[in-house]
Homo-oligomer: A and B are copies of this chain.
């Protein structure tokens, strides 16, 4: 058995990282969209909005646990973009990561569609609709509330993703108050939880282009039709563009208000090593750089 598995080993580091991103997003969306399916098809009798928040939060946590040691657990094209922008991730890998993330989200949506097939049929009476009393497209991707204007939707996505990015950068900033070693996935999940609790009602807190477009493509193919792109005055492009802008805004806010002002560590490294709170792990930066630093050189030596 062990030998059999070893034969399947892939040595190319980029491919390994893409597999990890794909599985990470898959786990995140499987739990996230699954929780929406449960609440929708049981009409709130087996869960409330808070369980949807928990589904996406813990989905993110375990998505990060599954992939962080291999790919750094971006799980979000907007996060990948910001890290490229900061010089912490090579631009050349960005398109591969994005494709893997969208693929993972698509497959997860298909799995949720399969697992809840009977429930969706029973709840919707067999009519797969995007709006109306038994709409089920909202199980998979996000749609705006009726009252939301286009600008309101853009502001909503930009603010939400900027807040996400500020918190993620703070959790990984070893010179501020970093997350305890190994607890990063839990705390990233907690960020997603609090955003869902405080910024979820306008348009369903996509915050992530892959999380939204992957399942939307699934619903397009699986029977909900073109309406998934037309609904909400062609809403579909907002969760693609908004998060990318928001992540860059959040990155700038954290960098300009906190990170660039940290005292220079070059001159007094010994002193700061002692004074630092996180003596056990002084260099982890969200695990992202970390995976680049560690796994890439290793695999470059041995990889194809």
Write the residues of chain A forming the contact surface with B, with a CB cutoff of 8 angstroms: 1-2, 5-6, 8-11, 16, 19-20, 22-23, 27, 30-35, 37-38, 41-42, 45-51, 53-55, 58-59, 61-62, 64-70, 73, 85-87, 111, 114-119, 121-122, 145, 147-149, 152, 155-156, 159, 163, 166-167, 170-171, 173, 175-187, 190-191, 193-195, 197-202, 253-264, 268, 271-272, 275-281, 284, 287, 290, 293-295, 298-299, 302
Contact yes or no, A10 B261, CB < 8 A: yes
Q: How far is the CA of A259 from the CA of B19 in the complex (A)?
A: 11
Number of copies: 4
Contact yes or no, B59 A8, CB < 8 A: no
Contact yes or no, B55 A198, CB < 8 A: yes
Q: How far is the CA of A257 from the CA of B145 in the complex (A)?
A: 38
Contact yes or no, B197 A38, CB < 8 A: yes
Q: Given A177-B64, A279-B280, are A30 and B198 also a contact pair (CB < 8 Å)?
A: yes
Contact yes or no, A27 B166, CB < 8 A: yes
Contact yes or no, B177 A54, CB < 8 A: no
Q: Given A20-B258, A51-B49, A190-B58, are A200 and B38 also a contact pair (CB < 8 Å)?
A: yes
Contact yes or no, B278 A181, CB < 8 A: yes
Contact yes or no, A66 B5, CB < 8 A: no
Contact yes or no, B194 A58, CB < 8 A: yes
Chain B's closest residue to A36 (CB) is B198
Selected from B32, B258, B294, the residue in CB contact (under 8 A) with A275 is B294
Question: How far apart are A183's CB and chain B's nearest CB, in angstroms?
Answer: 6
A-B contact pairs, 30 of them (CB 8 A): A19-B261, A20-B257, A22-B257, A23-B253, A30-B163, A31-B198, A38-B197, A38-B199, A42-B201, A46-B200, A47-B200, A48-B48, A50-B51, A54-B194, A58-B194, A61-B190, A61-B194, A65-B167, A65-B179, A66-B176, A69-B173, A73-B177, A116-B202, A118-B147, A177-B184, A177-B185, A181-B182, A271-B298, A272-B294, A277-B287
Known: A48-B48, A181-B277, A277-B284. 10 other contacts (CB 8 A): A5-B259, A23-B166, A35-B198, A54-B193, A58-B190, A66-B254, A69-B177, A70-B258, A177-B185, A263-B298
Contact yes or no, B54 A197, CB < 8 A: yes
Contact yes or no, A66 B260, CB < 8 A: no
Contacts of A159 in B (CB 8 A): 30, 111, 114-115
Q: Given A38-B199, A116-B202, A200-B46, are A178 and B170 also a contact pair (CB < 8 Å)?
A: no
Q: How far is the CA of A54 from the CA of B191 in the complex (A)?
A: 11
Chain B's closest residue to A275 (CB) is B294
Q: How far is the CA of A258 from the CA of B70 in the complex (A)?
A: 8
Q: How far is the CA of A121 from the CA of B229 in the complex (A)?
A: 27
